[in-house]
Amino acid sequence: MAIPVEAFYLTPGASGSLQQQIRAMVTQGILAGRFRPGQRMPSSRGLAGHLGISRITVTLAYADLVSGDYLTSAGRSGYFVSETAPLAPQFPVSAPQGEAVDFRALTGGRFSGAARVARPEDWDSYPYPFIYGQADPTLFDHQNWRQCALRALGKRDFAALTSDYYERDDPLLVEQLLRTILPRRGIAAREEEVLLTLGAQNALWIAATLLLGPGRRAGVENPGYPGWRGVVTATGAAAVPVDVDALGLPPERLAADVVFVTPSHQCPTNATMPVERRVALLDAAEAQGFVIVEDDYEFEMSFLKPVAPALKSLDRGGRVIYAGSFSKSVFPGLRLGYLVGPPGFIAEARALRALMLKHPPGHIQRTMAYFLGLGHYDALVNRMKNAYRRRRQVMAEAIADEGLEIAGQGGFGGSSFWMRAAEGVDTEALAIALRAEGVLIEPGRAFFAGDGPKNYYRLAYSSIALPKIAEGVARIARALR
Amino acid sequence: MAIPVEAFYLTPGASGSLQQQIRAMVTQGILAGRFRPGQRMPSSRGLAGHLGISRITVTLAYADLVSGDYLTSAGRSGYFVSETAPLAPQFPVSAPQGEAVDFRALTGGRFSGAARVARPEDWDSYPYPFIYGQADPTLFDHQNWRQCALRALGKRDFAALTSDYYERDDPLLVEQLLRTILPRRGIAAREEEVLLTLGAQNALWIAATLLLGPGRRAGVENPGYPGWRGVVTATGAAAVPVDVDALGLPPERLAADVVFVTPSHQCPTNATMPVERRVALLDAAEAQGFVIVEDDYEFEMSFLKPVAPALKSLDRGGRVIYAGSFSKSVFPGLRLGYLVGPPGFIAEARALRALMLKHPPGHIQRTMAYFLGLGHYDALVNRMKNAYRRRRQVMAEAIADEGLEIAGQGGFGGSSFWMRAAEGVDTEALAIALRAEGVLIEPGRAFFAGDGPKNYYRLAYSSIALPKIAEGVARIARALR
Residues of B in Cβ contact (< 8 Å) with A92: 186
Model pLDDT, residue B229: 87
Q: Does A9 touch chain B (CB under 8 A)?
A: no
Span of A97-111, A263-277, B70-84 with lowest mean pLDDT:
A97-111
Q: Give the one of B142, B144, B153 whose C-beta lies nearest to A146's C-beta.
A: B153
Q: What is the mean pLDDT of residues A151-179?
A: 89
d(CA A473, CA A240): 35
The secondary structure of residue A15, as a DSSP letter, is S
Rounded to the nearest angstrom, the minimum Cα separation between A119 and chain B is: 8
Residues of A in Cβ contact (< 8 Å) with B331: 161-163
Model pLDDT, residue A117: 59
Q: Which of residues 268-297 of B touch A (CB under 8 A)?
A: 286, 291
d(CA A3, CA A33): 12
Q: Which residue of B has its CA nearest to A93?
A: B186
Which CATH number is A5-81's, of 3.40.630.30, 3.40.605.10, 1.10.10.10, 1.20.1050.10? 1.10.10.10
The answer to whether the Cβ–Cβ distance between B101 and A70 falls below 8 Å is: no
The structural domains of chain A, with segments of one domain joined by +, span 5-81, 123-138+379-480, 142-375
Q: Give the one of B68, B158, B361 whose C-beta lies nearest to A335's C-beta.
A: B361
Span of A105-109, A116-120, A225-229 with lowest mean pLDDT:
A116-120
Residues of A in Cβ contact (< 8 Å) with B352: 111, 234
Model pLDDT, residue A95: 56
- Mean pLDDT by runs of 10 across the 481 residues of chain B is 85 84 89 87 92 92 90 91 82 65 79 69 91 88 93 88 86 92 89 96 96 94 91 92 95 93 93 94 94 91 85 92 91 93 94 94 95 92 93 97 93 92 96 96 93 95 96 97 92
Is domain B142-375 annotated with CATH 3.40.640.10? yes
Q: Which residue of B has its CA nearest to A289?
A: B101
The answer to whether the Cβ–Cβ distance between A357 and B205 falls below 8 Å is: yes
CATH level 2 (architecture), domain B123-138+379-480: Alpha-Beta Complex (3.90)
Residues of A in Cβ contact (< 8 Å) with B16: 151, 370, 374
Which is it for the CA torsion A451, A454, A455, A459, positive or negative? Answer: positive
Model pLDDT, residue B198: 96
Q: Which residue of A has its CA nearest to B381?
A: A86
Model pLDDT, residue B114: 65
* ipTM rounded to 2 decimals: 0.89
Band of pLDDT at residue A162, cut at 50, 70 and 90: confident
The answer to whether the Cβ–Cβ distance between B24 and A374 falls below 8 Å is: yes
A441-461 burial by CB neighbour count: b if 16+ within 10 A, else e?
bbbbbbbbbeebebbbbbbbb
Model pLDDT, residue B96: 54
The answer to whether the Cβ–Cβ distance between A69 and B383 falls below 8 Å is: yes
A58-82 burial by CB neighbour count: b if 16+ within 10 A, else e?
bbbbbebbeebbbbbeeeeebbbbb
Give the pairing type, strands B291-295 and B320-325: parallel
Residues of A in Cβ contact (< 8 Å) with B362: 333
The answer to whether the Cβ–Cβ distance between B162 and A134 falls below 8 Å is: yes
The answer to whether the Cβ–Cβ distance between B211 and A333 falls below 8 Å is: no
Q: Which residue of B has its CA nearest to A118?
A: B166
Q: Give the one of A103, A158, A374 whose C-beta lies nearest to B345's C-beta.
A: A103
A273 closest CA partner among A303, A251, A293:
A251
> Would you state the torsion angle of the CA atoms of residues A81, A87, A88, A91, taken in this order, to the nearest 10 degrees?
100
d(CA B418, CA B221): 15
d(CA B35, CA A204): 37
| Fold agreement between A123-138+379-480 and A142-375 | no
Model pLDDT, residue A94: 61
The tens digit of pLDDT for each residue in A109-152 reads 778 776 665 678 888 899 999 999 888 888 999 999 999 999 99
Q: Which residue of A has its CA nearest to B235?
A: A235
Q: Give the one of A135, A184, A319 whose C-beta lies nearest to B100's C-beta.
A: A319
**How far from the centroid of its chain's Cα atoms is residue B61's Cα?**
36
Model pLDDT, residue A5: 86
Q: Does B312 touch chain A (CB under 8 A)?
A: yes
Model pLDDT, residue B100: 75
Range with the largest mean pLDDT of A64-68, A175-179, B47-51, B476-480: B476-480
Model pLDDT, residue A57: 93
d(CA A149, CA A466): 30
Model pLDDT, residue B9: 87
Band of pLDDT at residue A42, cut at 50, 70 and 90: very high
The answer to whether the Cβ–Cβ distance between B103 and A342 falls below 8 Å is: yes
Q: Percent of chain A having pLDDT more than 70?
A: 97
How many A/B residue pairs have CB atoms within 8 Å?
Answer: 392
Task: State yes or no: cis peptide before B127, omega within 30 of 0.
Answer: no
Model pLDDT, residue B11: 81
Amino acid identity for residue A189 in this structure: A
Enumerate the β-bridge partners of residue A320: A292
Band of pLDDT at residue A15, cut at 50, 70 and 90: confident
Our CA angle for A120, A124, A129, nearest 5°, is 75
**Whether pLDDT at A211 is above 60:** yes
d(CA B253, CA B241): 12
Enumerate the β-bridge partners of residue B248: B245
**Whether pLDDT at A205 is above 90:** yes
